[in-house]
Structure 1
């Protein structure tokens, strides 16, 4: 695997509100936060750009809505912001799933920086991570998703169907990888290629 010298790490919605398990329910992949932190560290040490994406929910009861403590980034992310040295850094806020529909315009920023490769991590695997990765793939970016640096929650759907967080993560990975939107890999592969 090759990670470009200017590949952008897109850190999606790693916010305190996702710690409210009473709201979200059971999650998968308890090691995801450590892996996200390690990727931010590698990106900063190597001077690569990091994009921090924050979801400003418009749902009145959401723990991610502006003005709530849950809207803030998790502590380990906040501690790393602004520490990238030579690497560019961007904060994108959004109210929908795709980071490409946020403020400022992510696509315009990537183009201005000459960035063609994205490594997408964060929360939730099958929601904002998958949507951002799919759209990135559609827009022609080389998208890499280290699956073990993402997580999600159990979810109920139509017809009485219910899927566990792990089932949803696997389905997202199969759709992204099998559908040609992104390469789904493990964090250690990305760290090895980027270090």
Structure 2
């Protein structure tokens, strides 16, 4: 893996609402620590960072505008010069202008972290891959929640996470680890 100097870190939905207990049991308790490790490296190497914020269309959502859940967690607040994209659906490319921003800046490589693996992370990574971006999803820098499948069978967050990553790997993105990404950053 060779990361270009303008490889862009995309941090999805690290808002206060994602910590709400009503979302249920999650996996990867160290995910935020991994995201912050990557964010620190991106900032030190002056690579681009894009923070994605979800503004829900559903009043019962933890991301409904006008309440604290929609706000970025303090530790993930965008720094001066870092781009901030707002979305209303899981896919960060849908009706946000994100593709145009990346194309105008000549960005070809994306490193995606955030939540939820099976939802906004997967849909954003699928579109990134379909649009031809070289896309990496950091498996230990994402998390999701316990979820029932269409037939009502319960699946643990670990199973949901693994299936979602399996859906992405090799077709839409390369699934990798924080350590692997940091090694690539350090070798430049």
CA distance in 1, matches of 2:112, 2:41: 14
Q: Measure the CA separation in 1 of the matches of 2:126 and 2:150.
A: 23
- TM-score when normalising by structure 1: 0.92
Q: Give the Cα separation in 2 of the matches to 1:121 and 1:102.
A: 20
The CA distance in 2 between the partners of 1:8 and 1:102, in whole Å, is 19
TM-score normalised by structure 2 residue count: 0.96
**Match of 1:107?**
99
Post-superposition Cα deviations, 1:156-182, rounded to whole Å, max 9, x if no partner, equal 23222221110011001111114x110
Which residue of 2 is the match for residue 74 of structure 1? 73
CA distance in 1, matches of 2:118, 2:46: 29
Could you give the per-residue CA deviations for residues 132-152 of structure 1, whole angstroms, max 9, x where no partner exists?
001000000000011000000
Compute the displacement of 1:73 (Å). 0.9
Q: Deviations over 1:7-40 (max 9, x none)?
A: 110000011101112x111000000000001111
Unaligned runs of 5+ in 2: none
Aligned to 1:41: 40
Q: Offset of 1:102 from its aligned partner?
A: 4.3
CA RMSD, aligned part only? 1.1
Asked if 1:92 is matched to 2:85, the reply is yes
Query: Quick one: distance in 2 between partners of 1:154 and 1:119?
Result: 25
Count residues with an aligned counterpart: 186
Residues of 2 paired with 1:39 and 1:102: CA distance? 27
Please give the per-residue CA displacement for 1:34-65, whole angstroms capped at 9, x wherever unaligned: 00011111111001000000000111111111
Secondary structure in 1 matching 2:93? helix
Q: Secondary structure at the match of 1:168?
A: helix
The match for 1:4 is 4
Deviation per CA, 1:68-90, whole angstroms, max 9, x where unpaired?
Answer: 11101111101xx225xxxx521
CA distance in 2, matches of 1:102, 1:14: 20
Asked if the contact 1:92–1:102 (Cα under 8 Å) also holds between the matched residues in 2, the reply is: no
**In structure 1, how many angstroms separate the alpha carbons of the residues matched to 2:130 and 2:74?**
32
Check conservation: 1:93, 1:102, Cα contact below 8 A.
Answer: no
1:102-151 Cα distance to aligned partner (Å, 9 max, x none): 43x00000001000000000010110001100100000000001100000
2:132 aligned counterpart, secondary structure: coil
Report which of the two has the higher share of helix.
1
Give the gaps of 5 or more residues in structure 1.
none
